[in-house]
Structure 1
């Protein structure tokens, strides 16, 4: 653990209180006409406006990791084209093992519109919520139902901020009230992970019990706001994490049972309130959620606030096959991700590797998979997610265009940042016609219904084994894309493997894999090496291929399971303990 500077007595709570006061117009107590904090809550419009400002502390997600990367680039699902040539960029630093308590590559590009210092931003959000909740009962409001709804909304916001803190850093102090600078911060201690989970669940349950709080937002202006659906999903996420190997060190069956019951209730409530899987997997990601009480998209639970013209443009220019002279190839799928997709007959294509470098896949002979012709008859989600060599792209300047990811091809594999290093480009989120027209309507979803299905399947399997409820949940996801049901008679261990694979191919690039790798404690298996497929075009027009090692990362040790608390914050809090290994 880092040596603590005893002379520093402020804690993160005080620092954030002071920092946010500087920049909050409602907290400036000056004689120039602006209102004080007390004045805010004597005006109904200002009361609502104060709650609205809390949303400024939510992350954007998606490509807003430096430099315009998905969080997937920091998992074995993707390899950034910035590494290794772009020194100082987030992915290059991450892969080289540069994470320390004083330097977190994920926080490179520390701007509010990026995913910069989320540790600090989450605490700022919590402080704002606590201030709101401390005043709302006596605040001026339009009516009592509005007061009740805003109070519930604030509690879900606090649950969201806490959930994002603990899944990266472990247990945090549970702070329910605004803290003044006079508070004795030297005594502030961390609560356990489970205590934080219980607190998040408590906030979510309070919001769910409020009759005036909504299940769905129905206007574009309210996109990305908290709802009862978000509360159900957050409960499902955090109880699943608490039951997982990282935090459930004794494999306590009661924690799995609690996670299963929580997920089942969430799924039933969401379905009863109009949520359902979107009928077209690929199309779902190419558009933003629509408005209205009966939208076409009934699957999205929480969408990022980063939407509008700029987000689709960035998605195009900064992470695409260079058909339109993109600035970079971006977060390119790895061979490991590609190998996870089943064949369309429902059989696993590749069950593992016989060597540490993943050069020799273990092929399931019942699948029909051929490593020399690997892209035929795969799960439809593969084609909706990955551009691969010789894939038909669409029309470009009126002519048919095929992805030439082979050496020397039109978007051929190379070590430059404009080209894939793995032999693949990301297809998900951007329709070819939108790429060609430099347009689009996509946005990033933090939570959707499919995750709740899969979380329920996982928790139920761990709690009671692969019963019919497990099969029903996971098969609902597979049927949506036309995949066969899982075979009957799977063992608990076999079902666990199938569920983990299903999570990976259903939700790549959705900020799920980063935390799954950690809560399952599989970094030593998943993060040591990433590979790709190098293709050569032969004289007769055919292609030959070979698997290649793309990168050997230094992010697989156990200390990377829980990220280090920033050194500046540890130094401010004498009673805090740094996370293991840091």
Structure 2
């Protein structure tokens, strides 16, 4: 991994102007392509320059805050206005409309053609990697903005000022890019952090699933399964820890090094009492989505759900995903019990109560993924935590969803779901209850939602999923109050799941979602730079 990071720094230095936005002009002190694109080693350094920032961690860790499963209190971080429906072109909304990375990729694909390689397969493999990076950037912009310009090369800023393509045109461009890239790629990456077939196939799978091309999604998922390189980790929680970074479940993740390229974002997720900002936190909506340990939903008769103890007897993934009140915890001050319910502790203000400080979790909950245990980090503000972009569980869930949509329930689909559920300690799917396409769809959506909670996929899922009336699921789950539970901690209780005694709810914020909120507004700065751009409807 350090080799990749060292080359990244070198590549960034060489690419110079390629790191700038697509409307920037070329500075006079830029390195000339005629003097830098000479050898295979040059191409390797420019390749790593293309990797810098290709996986944006905000696009993983923050995105659930724009859904019913997450909350972002700090407006300047760019996701609260998405979650509550308050987006405009001028307020604080995260901006993914940028062509800097695409320009780097365009430059690479143009200039690599001038280099003679001893082995053509090595050259093709590099081209496949960069095409995948470019496709990923276009896919993200297209999904969130609904059609963007496709700019493959230009000499002046004026040439880059072109109109938006339609969403369908950009989608097809992404599909074609991936279909061209996949045959060029190695089956196994040269080193950790490089793109190989599995990553490109995972992008093909996800993009196809998002756009409802179930046959394409199914084929891509099956191709990943057939590679034989990936498997479910026996320990669900392990995947999100530093020791678990070598898990065979992980297909692609952000690469960090404590000294060369450290990660600070994980620290911002911790609660106030542990020195964090509570920048992105889970909600009670997520807790309510987990089944009970017996496989029944909390609403079903016989489930055993107790509203006074909502964390008790739930799917084990709940406790491996969320730091809930009442849980045993070893934080910055040593061993304690998580208490986000009582305003005072031992006569002093509770630093983790939602009303104490801006940096306290407003939902009373904190993510466990990547944060637990805290002892895995020597310095939470400078660590090598690696957020996961693709993992094998998503592959199995995507195949199951696509196959059910195409052909309905089958032993194969039930088997894949049981793999995921059994890994976490949950019972097999009740085939009698989930015996039709419609009922199994409900289960698959719930299973995907809780299995991948906190991994940045929920917003996209509730946008693409439709209810029986044809409305986006987001129109239901993102309209109305976002609440947190209130109550107290019973320190005499030995069962951590029952220490939290819940007595009511409290408003966190009111949320709204209109159909035009399907897309983000294009930032006003981008509209000012390119007069041919048109803003999305509703903004």
Into which bin does the TM-score normalised by the smaller protein fall?
A: 0.7 to 0.9
Tell me: CA distance 1:507–1:540, structure 2 relative to 1, closer, same or farther (3 Å): closer
Shift of 1:172: 2.3
Question: Where does residue 475 of structure 2 map in the other structure?
Answer: 524
Question: Where does residue 545 of structure 1 map in the other structure?
Answer: 502
CA distance in 1, matches of 2:478, 2:507: 12
Tell me: CA distance 1:548–1:45, structure 2 relative to 1, closer, same or farther (3 Å): same
1:205 to 175, 179, 188: 179
* 1:330-479 aligned within 5 A: 330-349=279-298, 363-394=299-330, 400-407=335-342, 408-409=344-345, 412-415=352-355, 416-432=357-373, 434=375, 438=379, 442-479=385-422
Is 1:76 the counterpart of 2:68? The answer is yes
Q: Residue deviations 1:173-200, cap 9 Å, x none?
A: 333x3122286566x3333323322222
Question: Where does residue 189 of structure 2 map in the other structure?
Answer: 217
2:218 to 229, 252, 263: 263
Runs of 4+ aligned structure 1 residues displaced above 4 Å come to 91-98, 182-186, 309-314, 394-398, 409-412, 435-441, 537-543, 571-575
Tell me: CA distance 1:569–1:492, structure 2 relative to 1, closer, same or farther (3 Å): same
Is 1:21 the counterpart of 2:45? The answer is no
User: Contact 1:163–1:238 (CA<8 Å) still a contact in 2?
Assistant: yes
Is 1:158 the counterpart of 2:134? The answer is yes
User: Contact 2:486–2:506 (CA<8 Å) still a contact in 1?
Assistant: no
Is 1:61 the counterpart of 2:47? The answer is no
User: Contact 1:517–1:523 (CA<8 Å) still a contact in 2?
Assistant: yes
Shift of 1:492: 1.8
1:329 to 261, 275, 278: 278
User: Contact 2:396–2:417 (CA<8 Å) still a contact in 1?
Assistant: yes
Q: Residue deviations 1:289-333, cap 9 Å, x none?
A: 65xxxxx511111111345368566524x2224453x14333222
Shift of 1:169: 0.8
CA distance in 1, matches of 2:327, 2:391: 29
Q: Residue deviations 1:532-554, cap 9 Å, x none?
A: 11112579877632342433344
Shift of 1:504: 1.5
Question: Where does residue 444 of structure 2 map in the other structure?
Answer: 499
- For structure 1, which runs of at least 5 residues remain unmatched after alignment? 1-12, 23-27, 107-116, 244-254, 291-295, 350-362
TM-score normalised to the size of structure 1?
Answer: 0.77
Q: Residue deviations 1:24-52, cap 9 Å, x none?
A: xxxx5x6xxx7412333233322222222
- For structure 2, which runs of at least 5 residues remain unmatched after alignment? 1-17, 466-471, 494-498
User: Contact 1:302–1:447 (CA<8 Å) still a contact in 2?
Assistant: yes
Is 1:305 the counterpart of 2:255? The answer is yes
User: Contact 2:106–2:153 (CA<8 Å) still a contact in 1?
Assistant: yes
Is 1:483 the counterpart of 2:483? The answer is no
Question: Where does residue 511 of structure 1 map in the other structure?
Answer: 456
Shift of 1:441: 5.2
User: Contact 2:322–2:366 (CA<8 Å) still a contact in 1?
Assistant: yes
Shift of 1:156: 0.9
Q: Residue deviations 1:380-420, cap 9 Å, x none?
A: 1101111222112248877x521122223455533222433
How many equivalent pairs are there?
498
CA distance in 2, matches of 1:265, 1:305: 24
* 1:117-132 aligned within 5 A: 117-120=95-98, 123-132=99-108
- SS of 2:24 mapped into structure 1: helix
CA distance in 2, matches of 1:216, 1:134: 25
User: Contact 2:252–2:391 (CA<8 Å) still a contact in 1?
Assistant: yes
TM-score normalised to the size of structure 2?
Answer: 0.83
CA distance in 2, matches of 1:442, 1:88: 24
Is 1:234 the counterpart of 2:182? The answer is no
Question: Where does residue 285 of structure 1 map in the other structure?
Answer: 240
Tell me: CA distance 1:555–1:184, structure 2 relative to 1, closer, same or farther (3 Å): same
* 1:135-154 aligned within 5 A: 135-154=111-130
Question: Where does residue 7 of structure 2 map in the other structure?
Answer: none
- SS of 1:551 mapped into structure 2: strand
1:275 to 230, 242, 262: 230
CA distance in 2, matches of 1:193, 1:167: 8
Shift of 1:571: 4.2
- SS of 1:393 mapped into structure 2: strand
CA distance in 1, matches of 2:231, 2:224: 11
Is 1:533 the counterpart of 2:502? The answer is no
User: Contact 1:393–1:402 (CA<8 Å) still a contact in 2?
Assistant: yes
- SS of 2:251 mapped into structure 1: strand
- SS of 1:548 mapped into structure 2: strand
User: Contact 1:288–1:442 (CA<8 Å) still a contact in 2?
Assistant: no
CA distance in 2, matches of 1:394, 1:132: 47
CA distance in 2, matches of 1:155, 1:126: 10
User: Contact 2:482–2:511 (CA<8 Å) still a contact in 1?
Assistant: no
Question: Where does residue 101 of structure 1 map in the other structure?
Answer: 89
Tell me: CA distance 1:235–1:421, structure 2 relative to 1, closer, same or farther (3 Å): same
